[in-house]
Amino acid sequence: MANAGPTRRTDLYLRAEYPEIRTIIYRLTENEFAIYSEDFPNEFEEFRKKFNFEIRLISAVVELINNRPNDYLEIIEPIADKDISKDFEGIPMSKISLFNLLHSKFPKINFHKLNDSAGVVNIHIADYSIKEGNTEKLIYINKFEKERLEKFLKNLKTNIDFNIIVEKHEKKPDIERVNTYNPVNFIYASNLAHRKASEFYRRDEALWYDKVDKIFEGNFKKKDLYFYDDNSYSCYVDYSIFPNIDLRNHLFLYEVIYLTPPFEKNIAAWLKESKIERKEFLGLVERKRIMLVLTQPEFRYDGGFIRDVYAIDPNAVITRRALACMQQIDLVEKYNNYIFKDVADLKDVRKFTTAIAEKLGKDPNTLFNTIVWPIKALRNSFEALNEKGLVSASVYGVNKIIEKGASATYGKDLEFEYTVNSPSIHLAHSLNATYFPFRGKDYSDEFYASTMGTMLNFYKNATPQNLKSFVENDKRAQTGVPIINPIDLIEVNDFISITELESHLSQDVVFPNSKALIESLAHLDEKERLKKIEFYNKKVAAKVNRKKKSTGVIDLGTNLLLDAVGLFTGLPGLGTLFSVTKSGTKLINQDASVRNVTQKIENILDDSTDSKNIKYLTKISAVAKLKKK
């Protein structure tokens, strides 16, 4: 009897392409299947032709039918969205893909060769001996591991027979190299990596294969990732190919910087160009200010530098498998929270988009695909992420629904630009981090980042709880309020050393104050924003000058409110007393309790947006200021 795996996977591909279709899978005979739906389009023959040539797996003996069968053996359950990754059921694989999967899932088993004959795939496993000192140690596949392997192969539910061959060797045999893929576009198992795999490579490989089922079930979330902190105010900056903005700007504005370093380039040269000492950079890693995001194969980076970072903080080195985990979690979360995820609603959505498109003169399929993107992305993402990682984002990403319209609007084909920029935008969005576009002399990804980022933010907020406020904010942005770019807002001294900068920027100064400053300016139009910046700069200059002239002088003016409170409570001079605590005398400053009370009172007094922003800008005035234009 034929396995249903290829047919169930084909049915999933069909529902990925047409999410509004509800299907039923019938086993007609022992070896034949049919997929029925009452939701198939009216042009059924054309639809069936597309199914046969573009969707159906070659290994699936299945046809589409538009009438319910009278005779059948059983009804087969479809693959549920929460089970997309389960057992890799029915997924088509090349020889190298299968070999890679076996090494990834079972890294302790010594697979050394894979071949096929007469429709049977032979999996060769080596038992061999190694010497450890004066003793000889046998490396072999034990009964438990073999049973796990047999179960896994059975649950693939392909129509291929597997034959496990355990062979004895005097020493470890070389792994047979089958036709290889480009390692940039294919994530090799740690045992098959081009160079000896690092600890963090193996760690992240195990993370993906151990947790991917739980990710789809919704039981493994971003907060469970070793590198993710939803409470940190973070940004993502890519230095891999193009130059980007001085790192000091990011350190100034953000609590955590996710950073992709240059590849195939000596890191010392990049640090020198950035005016950063190696020990300063490693110090930032130690203080949890920087995390390295490796979007390329490990061997393309400066290995010594990456290992130094890992030695200081293992969680600060993030490889492609871990990034794939985060991206898959992000897509699952979007789908689970999405207002249009129920297939029962999608028939109405199809009719709605058709009616709206007619009124607007737009393509109804484009409008419909825009609405159902989170569903299609979830169903199309797993195989791409498993094989290629985030570099495959363009296969399922929001670029798919933007590039055609953008190309028509601007009169040129933008598909390539959206394809190459898609991974970085989806990565930053998954991190919940601000993305900083690179701005080269002749090229920038700013336009693509803006359009894709806007769409991803919509889907993130397209929940019953958030949609209303998101639409209102978006409507405000459409009325002329320019989107604020923090880097365009702040001017940081580029000559200051990282050590000196960090001494000014303790985390309580950077966050949440920088975030509050940006948010308070974001809602203003350009004219109001420039006026407010000028006001802040004048106030900061006045405060800085006053500090220089009046060190130790009691400031009575700022405490009139406390004096008034004192007057009405029988405690005259309370404000003046507070001023004494602020005056900086050595005696008072040595008392931690007084400093705590002083800070608390000061925070209450400064509970206004302008006061907080001016106070923050004054604190950092030695290293940065608001730009005048």
How does DSSP assign 3-22, residue by residue?
-SHHHHHHHHHHHHH-TT--
Could you say which residues of the chain have pLDDT below 70?
Answer: 178-179, 242-244, 439-440, 466-512, 514-515, 518-519, 521-523, 525-526, 539-541, 543-608, 613-629
Q: Measure the CA–CA gap between 14 and 138, rounded to whole angstroms.
A: 49
Q: How many CA atoms lie within 13 A of 13 on its CB side?
A: 21
One-letter amino acid at 490 equals: I
pLDDT of residue 556: 33
| Correct CATH for 88-180 of 3.30.70, 3.30.2220, 3.30.300, 1.10.357 | 3.30.300
**Could you tell me the CA-to-CA distances from 215 to 40, 207, 321, 395 in Å, in that order?**
31, 11, 13, 20
Give the 3-state secondary structure of residue 163. strand
pLDDT of residue 16: 96
pLDDT digit string, tens, across residues 572-619: 333 433 444 444 444 344 455 444 444 544 554 445 677 776 666 666
**Predicted structure pTM score:** 0.81
Q: Which residues of 137-159 are buried (b: 16+ CB within 10 A; e: fewer)?
A: eeeebeeeebeebeebbeebbbb
Give the 3-state secondary structure of residue 26. strand
Q: Are 628 and 540 in contact (CB under 8 A)?
A: no
- Alpha helices per DSSP H over 183-319: 199-217, 247-253, 267-273, 278-286, 303-312
Enumerate the domain spans of the chain.
5-79, 88-180, 201-322, 323-433+447-468, 512-626
Q: Measure the CA–CA gap between 411 and 124, rounded to whole angstroms.
A: 55
pLDDT of residue 572: 38
If we measure between CA atoms, which residue out of 252, 256, 234 comes closest to residue 620?
252
pLDDT of residue 498: 64
